[in-house]
């Protein structure tokens, strides 16, 4: 693939890919991903985060599923042990960033205007507004929407999708692209399950399995710290796994080992 623009055209195959026809038209075979530009920026973001040892989670859900409340509860539980930062995506207002900042956590608000999703370019700008050397765990709270955010890689390391139990338990079947992208599905507001008779947690999990995914499903209730254990454990495990992975691929420092002359 071409390193400049990502297309499959090279000087060597251009004569095959471009076919002039008798009617004066030329057909150019391209085979290029339409998300190429966003994906390139996302890869850059991921490299940027890795170089600062930041682990990033893209938090997605429909509006009102409790993303900000879960973040606030997570900050309360882990804020003393892990240095957390947040990027907030909303169409308008600084409200969510203000909520996060009130906990003493750095937060950048992206207001997208009418755009229904965050993309890798917006995240790149936001990363430059944060002191990444003082952050271990970065949450990107995406715009509340179960459709559009699924198509845009931001450079995150994990996708977490919230499904609140006040929504339908068939949401995974209705939004397959979003739920297929999830590394973890969180059934939020689970303390309401006892008073709701129309949300079946097992049915939600079955709908997720029908998408060909064995993604873990956990329950949280952000207003009850005791119900956050499985979420906090998943976070700690994900962070530990990422650090293990990075150590495996850590470049060998210059002048140490490997050179036969030194052995």
Partner 1 sequence: MHELAVCQALLDQVQAISAEHGDTAVTRITVSIGPLSGVVPELLQRAFYLARARGSAANAELLIEGAAVRIRCRSCGAESEAAPARLICAHCGDFHTDLLDGDQLVLMRVELIQAGANPANDSAGEWPCVKHADAI
Kindly give the pairing relationship between strand 137-141 and strand 55-60.
parallel
Give the side-chain half-sphere CA count within 13 A for 43: 6
Cβ closer to partner 1: 151 or 227?
Answer: 151
CB of 173 to partner 1, least distance (A): 4
Rounded CA separation 185/61 (Å): 10
* Binder among 180, 183, 201, 230 for partner 1 (CB under 8 A): 180
> Residue 64: which of 164, 149, 212, 132 has the closest Cα?
164
CB of 203 to partner 1, least distance (A): 14
User: What is the 8-class DSSP label of residue 158?
Assistant: E
What values do phi and psi take at 180, rounded to 5?
A: -70, -25
> What's the sign of the alpha-carbon dihedral 232, 237, 238, 243?
positive
Asked whether position 25 contacts partner 1 by CB under 8 A, the answer is yes
Contacts with partner 1 by CB under 8 A: the residue count is: 42
Rounded CA separation 183/119 (Å): 19
- Here the tokens at position 254 are 């210059």
* Binder among 176, 183, 201, 232 for partner 1 (CB under 8 A): 176
Cβ closer to partner 1: 50 or 151?
Answer: 151
Please measure the distance between the N-terminal and C-terminal CA atoms of the chain and give it in whole angstroms.
40
Cβ closer to partner 1: 212 or 260?
Answer: 212
Rounded CA separation 193/240 (Å): 31
String of contacts with partner 1 for each residue 92-131, x by CB under 8 A: -----------------------xxx-x------------
> Which of the residues 200 through 259 are near partner 1 (CB under 8 A)?
207, 209-214
String of contacts with partner 1 for each residue 47-86, x by CB under 8 A: ----------------------------------------
Cβ proximity of 191 and 165 under 8 Å: no
> Which of the residues 155 through 174 are near partner 1 (CB under 8 A)?
172-174
* Binder among 11, 12, 15, 34 for partner 1 (CB under 8 A): 34
Cβ proximity of 118 and 149 under 8 Å: yes
Asked whether position 32 contacts partner 1 by CB under 8 A, the answer is yes
Residues that bind partner 1 (CB under 8 A): 5, 7, 9, 18, 23-38, 115-117, 119, 147-148, 150-152, 172-174, 176-177, 180, 207, 209-214
């Amino acid at each position: 693939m071409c390193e400049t623009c990502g297309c499959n055209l090279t000087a060597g195959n251009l004569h095959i890919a471009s076919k002039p026809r008798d009617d004066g038209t030329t057909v150019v075979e391209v085979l290029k991903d339409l998300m190429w530009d966003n994906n390139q920026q996302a890869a850059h973001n991921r490299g940027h985060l890795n170089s600062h040892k930041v682990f990033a989670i893209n938090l997605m859900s429909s509006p009102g599923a409790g993303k900000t409340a879960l973040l606030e509860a997570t900050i309360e539980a882990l804020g003393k042990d892990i240095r957390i930062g947040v990027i907030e995506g909303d169409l308008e207002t600084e409200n969510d960033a203000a909520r996060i900042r009130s906990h003493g956590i750095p937060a950048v608000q992206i207001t997208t205007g009418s755009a229904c999703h965050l993309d890798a370019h917006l995240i790149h700008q936001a990363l430059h507004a944060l002191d990444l050397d003082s952050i271990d765990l970065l949450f990107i709270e995406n715009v509340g929407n179960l459709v559009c955010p699924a198509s845009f890689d931001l450079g995150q390391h994990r996708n977490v999708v919230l499904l609140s139990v006040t929504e339908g338990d068939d949401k995974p079947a209705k939004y397959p692209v979003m739920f297929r992208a999830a590394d973890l599905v969180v059934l939020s507001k689970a303390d309401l399950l006892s008073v709701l008779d129309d949300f079946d947690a097992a049915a939600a999990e079955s709908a997720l399995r029908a998408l060909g995914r064995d993604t873990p499903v956990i329950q949280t209730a952000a207003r009850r710290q005791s119900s956050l254990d499985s979420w906090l454990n998943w976070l700690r495990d994900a962070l530990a796994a990422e650090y293990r992975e990075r150590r495996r691929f850590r470049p060998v420092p210059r002048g140490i080992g490997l050179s036969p002359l030194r052995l």
